[in-house]
Structure 1
Amino acid sequence: MKFLPVSLFALLCFSTFAADAQTHSLFNGKDFTGWHIDVPDMDNNSSVPTPFIIRQGMLVSLANPEGHIITDSIYQNYRLQVEYRFPGKPGNCGVLLHASTPRSLYKMFPKSIEAQMMHENAGDFWCIVEDISVPDMEKRRGPKKDWGITEGKERRIKNLTDNSEKPLGQWNTMVVECLGSAIKVWVNGDLVNHGTNCTASKGQIALQAEGAEVEFRKVELTPITKLTGGK
């Protein structure tokens, strides 16, 4: 895949952003105020432990049982910055954007577009009963006849870069910009995906428990309230 380095300086200079918006943390480091947990295995068994905990001021996904922690609020036109790492074994996780109807896919995943955090695949898009378009679609998603947004369809859209992630155990920074029907994703300053014509433009934000323990030390959102130029 083609390597397209983009510095954080360039991100700030050339990306459309909110000049007068206030950045705020979605996680207070103490409890899950503003979030709710959706884990199917916990529905009818009170002994099943939650996969989401707070540890040393960090939000931690313990991987199992699988599920999501979801914001109570709906967001539209924003920049989200997430700092995360896999402290042990590498594996899977993701940020779900424009999340809405719960358990829409495999009776687990809310309707959304996922910005993938899976080790060595950070920045892939996964279409979860929503869709998005990118250039070179067949190269990055596979044959058009296989595309889809539900079970059994080709829902993965590969990212643009290799080697954007830090070595295992180190902190990564993912920045996601959702503006209208477009979504851009940066990993450690590299532009790793840019999609347009998204079938959703607002929704909740979710983090996954799916396959590996992940620590989150920052989950910050900046509303985009005034366009200041750039493209």
Structure 2
Amino acid sequence: MRTALLLVLLAGLATAADAVKPTKKIKLFNGKDLTNFYTFLKDSHREDPKKVFTVANGMIHISGAEWGAITTEKEYRDYHLVMEWKWGQENLAPRVGKARDSGILLHGTGVDGAAGSGWLESIEYQMIEGGTGDMLMVKGAAKPKMTVEAITKEDKQLYWQQGAPRVTRDSGRVNWYGRDIKWTDTFGYRGPVDVEKPVGQWNRSEVIAEGGHLVYYLNGVKVNEGFDGDHTQGKLQVQSEAAEVFVRKIELLPVKGGGKK
């Protein structure tokens, strides 16, 4: 029993040591191919027969034809993530007529696909029309925990509000501060105070990750924040979730501290 416990502890230490902390810019997407990533899809796993993920003209094209993600080969910690992306025109079954949907999964751990649909246990930076910047806890073998400053509105959902009482969650979603309380899962949805750019224009999503502290930005605006998360490092994933998405930049920068860009 003691030997087994020691091996588990040593494995955890090795994983922590192996996670990369950027000391200079790391260009995860090189503009040419998917070096630094592997594909994992719900049905075909590490094969991509439908060409869900392709690279052309300096961009990753995500067709949405199968649910899954591109996943970093390495684990990362304490970074400033920058991703530039825009929606395409297509939205495929089973989400025809529904809001375009994707996401960035942070601190991914465990077995590929353990969270379902090809995803890792992780914390999500949601990308969905009207809800980009929401924070989701993506369950795998365990439930990730995160503490947020948030208020509960009349729809009984949590909305991030800086300085509000703190609450800890291990499931569900924390909406970005300006998410329309009347949001509906509708193709092309726009809320009255959306920070996300209109379809076809480039968005800049940023995450400052310092241990269990995550700060979400969208187009330069701070939209969400979490504290004391129990996931502090891991792989990064960019989802395919029935919507067409284009990505032109994925890079990691050293953090400045305090969740500041």
Residue equivalent to 2:233: 202
* Deviation, structure 1 residue 199: 1.5
SS for the counterpart of 2:206 is: strand
SS for the counterpart of 2:70 is: strand
Q: Is the 8 A contact 1:81 1:176 kept in 2?
A: yes
Residue equivalent to 2:174: 157
SS for the counterpart of 1:197 is: coil
* Amino acid of the structure 2 residue aligned with 1:26: L
SS for the counterpart of 1:175 is: strand
* Deviation, structure 1 residue 57: 1.3
* Deviation, structure 1 residue 43: 4.2
5+ unaligned residues in a row in structure 2: which ranges? 1-21, 91-98, 160-168, 179-192
Whose Rg is larger?
Answer: 2
5+ unaligned residues in a row in structure 1: which ranges? 1-19, 150-154
User: Could you list the runs of 4 or more consecutive aligned residues of structure 1 that deviate by over 6 angstroms after TM superposition?
Assistant: 228-231
* Deviation, structure 1 residue 148: 4.5
* Deviation, structure 1 residue 31: 1.4
Residue equivalent to 1:134: 148
* Amino acid of the structure 1 residue aligned with 2:101: N
Residue equivalent to 1:111: 121
* Deviation, structure 1 residue 228: 8.7
SS for the counterpart of 2:242 is: coil
SS for the counterpart of 2:33 is: coil
Residue equivalent to 2:166: none
Distance 1:105 1:141, change over 3 A: farther
Distance 1:197 1:215, change over 3 A: same
* Amino acid of the structure 2 residue aligned with 1:28: N
Q: Is the 8 A contact 1:42 1:49 kept in 2?
A: no
Q: Is the 8 A contact 1:61 1:215 kept in 2?
A: yes
Is 2:83 the counterpart of 1:95?
Answer: no
Count of paired positions: 201
- Normalization by structure 1: what TM-score? 0.79
| Deviation readout 1:3-32 (Å, 9 max, x if unpaired) | xxxxxxxxxxxxxxxxx9422210111111
Q: Percent identity?
A: 30
Q: Is the 8 A contact 2:126 2:134 kept in 1?
A: yes
